Structure 1
Amino acid sequence: MKTHLRIAIALLIGGVIGAAISTLLFSSRGMNEHKQVDNQTAKGTKGSSQQREPLYWVAPMDPNFRRDKPGKSPMGMDLIPFYGNQRGADESMSAQAGSVKISPDVVNNLGVRTAQAKMTTLNNTIETVGYIKYNEDTIVHMHPRVEGWVDALYVSTAGETVSKGQKMYGIYSPQLVSAQEEYLLAKKGKSRVIIDAARQRLLALHMPQEAMQQLDSDGKVLQSVTFYAPQSGVLEHLKIRHGFYVKPGDTLLSIASLDEVWVEAEVFEQQASLLEEGLAVNMDVAYLPDRQWQGKLDYIYPSLDISTRALRVRLRFDNPERLLKPNMYSNITIQGKPSAATLTVPREAVIRTGNQDRVVLALGEGYFKSVAVTLGKMSREAIEITSGIEMGDEVVTSAQFLIDSQSSISSDFVRMDHDNGSASTRQNNNSMQAHMKMSMDMESKSQSKKQNVKTAPEQAQVRGTVNSINIEQRSANISRGPIEKWGRGPATMVFSFAEHIDEHVLHQLNANSRIEFTFEISDGDFVIVALSIIDEGAS
């Protein structure tokens, strides 16, 4: 009896313990399932907060072309989605206005190169063209001091070489004949005062010394008086022929020396501060390309040319072999005054537009930023920066046009980092990466077929007005009209001239010139390949 009672009590206790354990297990499982549901709900809420719709779609090269859905730009590029400012608070570098992050593989594929802004002395060499002319200080003009007729002419053409003391022409003049007769009569009277007066009259009438000696020795009147070359050189002008009637004030001929020549050249107004008299000058001419002449800057004219807005200078060169001929064109290199060290960047780093000049800064860790700068003086290799960046800043010298184009979309660049976990940023980057890959693929295909097929860049023809022109740099600031086939409105921008456009054509252009021109986009530059000047009366 007692044994059965003990078994019943044991079973009762075991049931109670089992029920308690079951209750604890079910309660723990329920709490875990609730936590999992909460976590999934939180993740879903977080994911939904990151998935945002683009504000609009924009053309990569034209920030004014916006659409509310994907499509193509007027230049055939895929539109890029813009999501606004969705950067995290921890992204201090990308939080800068206008910054953009490019992944290392894209930087490598684009061939991005940088250079440091540093303090250097600009090369102040000025290159221009000059026109050789006679040294006007050595030109001698021959004029008669009596009326008469040319009864002898010993030279025949302008440009003829003459020597000092060579016979040039003979004149029969009643006035000279009368003066000779008076002189001979005075000599017979033996009055020294009258003789000296008669002799001075002959000298005042420009009687040559050779004729005076012959008159004294022969004692006979010379009906024809011969005149001689006062210096050696070449005939610049010959304005008489045999039998011409001449009178005082007529220029009969001019003799110029070629032992030294002048060269007149023009420099841009902004280069005037680099000039001073006495600077060293080098010159070469087309027909003797292996020969160099050294001279000096002799004179700076006090005013600018009213049509070209250029400053004229006069150069002086020795010409002992007489190889330099008047009216030849020449290439001039003037060594300008040295200047103090200034902050400079490579010339190719500057992006020049009609309204603003910019450079793209490399901020480090794949970040880039486009900033506006103010330009100063420039040389062939570098440009002075007066404001906008500081010494030591890294500037992009290649592929900067593609990077800079994104800054026009808004005040900030579109994010280009395809490793970001944000869905919106990833969509932005994928579109940009596709655009860059397409551009590089097209360039690669173009290079592989370069020997067989040459793809002509797209061109546009338009009219415009020249605002300013820099012949040395072969560029001009032009306000062009609209381009209907590209859907572009009027704009003011900097164009460069193709190498085949002759420099003499550029010299015909000045501020306010109306032109019709054809241009193409080559390596990011707007290159004029053909142009014509519109007459004032043309509509």
Structure 2
Amino acid sequence: MIRALTVTAVAALIAAAGTAFVVTQRQPARAIAIVGPVAAAESAPIYFQDPDGKPSYSLDPKKTLDGRDYRPVPAAADVNFDEAAMPSTATAGASDRKIKYYRNPMGLPDTSPAPKKDSMGMDYIAVYEGDDIDDGSVKLSPGKIQRTGAKSEPAARRVIRTIVRAPGTIALDERRISVIAMRSESFILKVANVTTGSHVVRGQPLMDVYSPSVSSAAAEYLATITSKTVGNDLAYGRGSKQRLMNLDVPDAAISAIEKTQIVPISIEWTAPRDGIVLARNAIEGMRVQPGGVLFRIADHSVMWALIDVAERDLGAVSKGQTATVRARAFPGREFSGKVEVIYPEINKETRTARIRIELPNPDLALLHDMYVDAEIDTGTREPVLAVPESAVMDTGSRQTVFIDKGQGRFEPREVKTGHRSAGYVEIRQGVAEGESVVISANFLIDAESNLKAALKGFAEGAQQ
């Protein structure tokens, strides 16, 4: 069409100038050469083109939408859009190969052993040796590759660090909780200045208790260690001391009886461990029945983080993996620990599994029932074969990548994927190390592959 416009414009110029011109047509470029003595006619524009080089033309001066003038094109600068007149490097390289046949430019099931035109006057496309390999690959021209922006990257080994993020709460270590309860009928004579929330240390006095059973056992033990007449006093003394221990009398009280050789009226009960007083039920003058809990003390130096991991992420979590816990009460601070226990049950309402992480708590910052967020490192420290995530096309039932075979040929290949992290995905099967995979515009290549497959099936059906 542009060639027709050019000839028409030149004819108009000849009629307007009133000067004789000789119009010749060269072969095969079909470029129009104007010979004449009028220099003004040679420099006069024959049409106008978009200033950005877009395929938009006008016979009269025109402006773009943003107010820029169309570029005037004189006869000397006219271009020819005939593909035969513009040999490119790709065409020059293709001329070195042997043409097998010519195919219909519209993809119809029609081929010809010699150059041919279709009913619309379009030239049939040459098919060279190697271009019609039926291996499932896709062949794209360099121009199409450039327009689609297809890029490739070799598959290489990388360390994939997959992070599982989940919320949770802080809980007490069940192994670090102590309860002070009487094992015989007793009376509380005095309670130390200890309240709920107080921090106590091992051996710190908590209360004075009078118990008839304890006093009787203490008198019997004192009689055995002070008597020198009975031959089996040593064995008898061990039995009496064991009775005091069975009544949970503190070791400090037993040592005081041995040292002073006096049976005390009341026994001083002390804290069995360092920790925080969670409950104080002891009241001065109260009567305590056997089994009555008077104090409950918990050690906060080590806490548990109970994390609720989604069911879909449970398969990646295993015992011994490192975890980072952040408390919402302390922004910017991290607590490190390891996965110690994976509880063998799934919450049917939330579809989560609970795991336990032990966290050192030397400054007692973590408190019971505090909300936290955990990041569990489920990746491996060994490098694995990986490609960018954009290279993998996931259809739900299978994953596919395009292998760049070079010279514009791309081969679709099914792969098996693994862990994902930081924009990369592990490839467990389907791609070898060093093979180039398409990392961008692979969906366009896939569309081209589907189109060619459809045209091929249509051609085979028409031939049958």
Query: TM-score by structure 2 length?
Result: 0.55
* Aligned position for 2:361: 319
For residue 279 of structure 2, the aligned residue among 235, 238, 256 is 238
Deviation at 1:116, TM superposition (A): 1.3
Q: Specify the SS of the correspondent of 2:281.
A: coil
| Change in CA separation of 1:148 and 1:364 when aligned onto 2, cut-off 3 Å | same
Q: Deviations over 1:256-289 (max 9, x none)?
A: 32333444557744435xx564x66555444444
Q: Which amino acid aligns with 2:429?
A: S
Cα distance in 2, alignment partners of residues 289 and 357 from structure 1: 40
Q: Is the 8 A contact 1:269 1:309 kept in 2?
A: no
CA distance in 2, matches of 1:91, 1:165: 94
What is the alpha-carbon distance in structure 1 between the residues aligned to residue 449 and residue 345 of structure 2? 41
Distance of aligned partners of 1:288 and 1:113 in 2 relative to their CA distance in 1, 3 Å threshold = farther
Q: Does 1:332 align with 2:370?
A: no
Change (3 A) 1:160 1:351: farther
Q: Does 1:162 align with 2:200?
A: yes
Q: Is it true that 1:143 corresponds to 2:181 in the alignment?
A: yes
Letter in 2 for 1:358: T
TM-aligned CA deviation for residue 321 of structure 1: 2.5
Change (3 A) 1:364 1:251: farther
Distance 2:194 2:375 in 1: 35
Distance 1:283 1:386 in 2: 31
- Is the contact made by 1:347 and 1:380 (CA closer than 8 Å) also made in structure 2? no
- Alignment partner for residue 345 of structure 1, among 368, 371, 387? 387
Match of 1:29 in 2: none
How far did residue 211 of structure 1 move? Answer: 3.9
CA distance in 1: counterparts of 2:391 and 2:302, whole angstroms: 44
Q: 1:115 to 1:233 in 2, by over 3 A?
A: same
Show the counterpart of 1:112.
150
Indicate whether 1:359 and 2:401 are aligned.
Answer: yes
Summarize the Cα distance change of 1:391–1:195 in structure 2 as closer, same or farther, 3 Å threshold.
closer
CA distance, structure 1, for counterparts of residue 447 and residue 164 of structure 2: 33
Partners of 1:204 and 1:113 in 2: CA distance: 79
User: Shift of residue 332 of structure 1?
Assistant: 3.4
Matched residue type, 1:240: N
Give the distance between the partners of 2:106 and 2:274, measured in 1 at CA.
Answer: 93
Displacement after TM superposition at 1:229 (Å): 0.6
Q: What is the CA–CA distance in structure 1 between the aligned matches of 2:163 and 2:291, rounded to whole Å? A: 43
Matches within 5 A, 1:108-257: 108-118=146-156, 120-124=157-161, 126-129=163-166, 131-150=169-188, 152-154=190-192, 158-180=196-218, 182=220, 193=233, 197-212=239-254, 217=260, 219=262, 221-222=264-265, 224-235=266-277, 237-238=278-279, 240-242=281-283, 246-249=288-291, 251-257=293-299
Mapped partners of 1:199, 1:49: distance in 2: 108
% identity of equivalent residues: 27
SS at match of 1:201: helix
Q: After the TM superposition, which of the residue ranges 308-317 and 163-172 deviates more from structure 2?
A: 308-317
Aligned-residue Cα RMSD (Å) equals 4.5
Say whether the 8 Å CA contact 2:316–2:378 is kept in structure 1: no
State how far apart, in whole Å, the 2-side matches of 1:121 and 1:52 are.
Answer: 43
Residues 319, 352 of structure 1: alpha-carbon distance in 2 compared, 3 angstrom cutoff: same
Query: Within 1, Cα distance between the matches of 2:221 and 2:189?
Result: 23
Shift of 1:350: 1.2
Superposed CA deviations along residues 41-75 of structure 1, whole A, max 9, x for unmatched, are xxxxx999766779xxxxxxxxxxxxxxxxxxxxx
DSSP-derived class of the 1:343 partner: strand
2:130 is matched with 92
Cα deviations across residues 74-109 of structure 1 (Å, max 9, x unaligned)?
A: xxxxxxxxxxxx997536346446544555555445
SS at match of 1:176: helix
- Give the 5 Å matches for 1:274-285: 277=320, 282-285=324-327
Q: Choose from 389, 397, 408 the match for 2:439.
A: 397
Q: Is 1:259 paired with 2:304?
A: no
Question: SS of the counterpart of 2:432?
Answer: coil
Structure 1 unaligned spans of 5+: 1-45, 55-85, 415-423, 425-539
TM superposition shift of 1:145:
2.0
Whichever residue aligns with residue 228 of structure 1, its letter is: T
Please list the CA deviations of residues 415-472 of structure 1 after superposition, one character each: whole Å capped at 9, or x if unmatched. xxxxxxxxx9xxxxxxxxxxxxxxxxxxxxxxxxxxxxxxxxxxxxxxxxxxxxxxxx
CA distance in 2, matches of 1:87, 1:372: 32
Q: Does the CA contact (< 8 Å) of 1:179 and 1:201 recur in 2?
A: yes
Q: Following TM superposition, where does structure 1 have runs of at least 4 consecutive aligned residues deviating by more than 6 angstroms?
A: 46-54, 184-190, 308-312
Offset, 1:228: 0.8
C-alpha deviation, 1:382, in angstroms: 2.4
Q: Which amino acid aligns with 1:271?
A: A
Counterpart contact for 1:132–1:330, Cα < 8 Å: no
Match of 1:503 in 2: none
SS in 1 for 2:425: strand
Aligned to 1:384: 426
Q: Determine the C-alpha separation between the residues in 1 that align with 2:342 and 2:237.
A: 51
CA distance in 1, matches of 2:165, 2:255: 54
Contact 2:148 2:444 in 1 (8 A): no
* Deviations, residues 515-537 of structure 1 (Å, cap 9, x unaligned): xxxxxxxxxxxxxxxxxxxxxxx
- CA distance in structure 2 between the partners assigned to 1:405 and 1:168 by the alignment: 80
Are residues 298 and 249 of structure 1, via their aligned partners in 2, closer, same or farther at CA, if it must alter by over 3 Å?
Answer: farther
**1:48 and 1:167 mapped to 2: Cα distance?**
101
